[in-house]
Amino acid sequence: MEKIFENVLELTTREDYDQVLAHVKKLIKEATDNGALDDPEADNEYIREIGRLSRLGAEYENEYIQFTHLKVKKKSPLIRKIEDEMYSRDIKQKELANMLGINEPTLSQIMRQKRPISMRTAKKLHKSLDIDPKLIIDYA
């Protein structure tokens, strides 16, 4: 594996950013081809170098690149908490919908913040996932 940006600690020019991005793509292909990315728990030189260079790229993007065309709606703390509970309990959206007594499309709309949470559903969220009532009241 070629480490051509080994001593780089920060990206300050678009040219450097583009070169690092191209190198990350090359490393990902190389690592994929030789099986270094097959195990999701693996910790090898490819994963460490791809991660390090990706962080440098992300820091450059945060500092110098304006993504005005992207509109990302920030998730409410309640939605993030529901997602965290679903993940930690290994609950799928369909299962949660059944637990809450609502259909899956309704839950999907709630999770995308397109539909408000009813009082009945709020109570069931508290009982089923043990979500703090104050969080539900503040963000439902």
Range of the domain at 45: 14-64
> Do residues 40 and 88 share a domain?
no
Look at the chain and report how many structural domains it folds into: 2
Kindly give the confidence (pLDDT) of every residue in the chain, 140 residues in length, as a single tens digit, with 9 standing for 90 and above: 777 888 888 999 999 999 999 999 999 999 999 999 888 788 899 999 999 999 999 999 988 887 776 666 788 999 999 999 999 999 999 999 999 999 999 999 999 999 999 999 999 999 999 999 999 999 88
- 9 inside domain: no
Could you tell me if 113 and 60 lie in one domain? no
Q: In 10 A of CB 42, how many CB atoms?
A: 12
Residue at which a domain ends, from 30, 64, 98: 64
Buried residues in 89-125 as b, exposed as e (16+ CB within 10 A): eebeeeebbeebebeeeebeebbeeeeebeeebbebb
29 located within any domain: yes
